[in-house]
Amino acid sequence: MRHIKIASAIGGIALALAGQHAFAQSSVTLYGVADVGIRYLTNSNAQNDGKLFMTNGAITNSRFGVRGTEDLGGGLKAIFDLESGINLQDGSFADSHRLFNRNAYVGLDSRYGTLTLGRQKTPLFDQLANTYDPLTVGNYLENAWLPVALGAGLYADNAVKYNGTFAGLNVEAMYSFGTDSTVTGDNGFSGQLPGHLGAGNMYGFTASYTTGPISIMAGVQQNSDNSNNKQTIYNANLVYAFSTAKIYVGYLRSQDDTGFVDSLLAQRPYPTGTSLKNTNRIDDGPFAGVSWQITPPLTLTGAFYYDHMRNATTGDGTLGSGNRYAIVAIAEYALSKRTEVYGTVDFNKVSGAATVQLPGRSNQTGISIGLRNIF
């Protein structure tokens, strides 16, 4: 099956590139990122063993894609994007359920904004990855837990999305008829159920404004499972840029009745029969960071993420409070405009209800080196 998928992908790319010659007013681009690292992780299992392994990149996860535009005249363009995550360490697709898991959409672009339909990033993901998260949500999952969990996956199937920029103001809005078509059942997010128009849906909205060195953003996102239990996320962020440095400050708040956050973050098994739904779990997650380009080829980044949780499912199946934080440092050295080497050091600590989020002891340290090429 994997060989069939790969052959289909290559065939699709070839057809897309052929279309560039058939329509002079069109353009099609093959692009991607190849990023892989060697990583050592302490307390990687219940026996607290260390682990040395090769893994997807820390700066930007590897992917390839095909995007295209067609000029329809009068400032209107048709656009599409097909993007798939890949694992360089073994050549596999990052998502076993989808060929194009990162983007699969078609849309229209004009001076009034861009309207797209299909699988795509949520407005929250766009803003964090492009501007407001010091790690661009691309770091190893051990450190990306805050935006990934509180952003409910950060991608949405079956989505209609608008993105418009007017002077320094950017507005994004999205509605999904079914956030995740691969997860079914009462606690799934597949949506599009006959007689249940609100089940499994999602909506999100962000507004950001940039003036001089300051960028600010606020937004809200709500996800519903197939039983109409909901997770609501609020976010507010600020970036201040001066000289060769940037300072990041942000805040994510989640109220979850679906059990999504509990199930996604747990690395230890819950007792048999534990219910993760309707717990009214609340997470308050401030974060901050700084990046500094010391010389043109060298950039240093530091980030701190914190989560205070209430009504979280604990290791014995009851509800309780807990805390988790992560400290991350990254050094990037550019060999060219497209290629860089980097090193990372990160430390995670959990307490209380958060202890289920690490497989062994209540702390974990990671050290990595990696190589990235953009094409």
Is-above-0.85 flag for pTM? yes
Give yes or no for residue 15 having a pLDDT over 60.
Answer: no
Distances in Å between the alpha carbon of 180 and those of 83, 156, 170, 273, 348? 17, 6, 26, 24, 29
CA distance 281 to 275: 13
Distances in Å between the alpha carbon of 103 and those of 63, 80, 117? 10, 9, 10
CATH number of the domain at 36-374, out of 3.20.20.80, 3.30.830.10, 3.40.718.10, 2.40.160.10?
2.40.160.10
Could you tell me the two tokens for 313? 């499912």
Angle at 186 between CA 181 and CA 191, to 5 degrees: 35
What number is the average pLDDT over the span 306-319?
Answer: 96
CA distance 265 to 197: 29
Give yes or no for residue 273 having a pLDDT over 80.
Answer: yes
- 17-25 — which CB contacts under 8 Å span 24+ positions? 17/66, 19/68, 20/68, 23/70, 25/70, 25/71
pLDDT of 153: 67
* Domain ranges, ordered by start, for the chain: 36-374
Tell me which amino acid residue 152 is: A
Distances in Å between the alpha carbon of 122 and those of 155, 231, 301? 5, 14, 25
157 confidence band (pLDDT: 50, 70, 90): very high
CA distance 325 to 240: 23
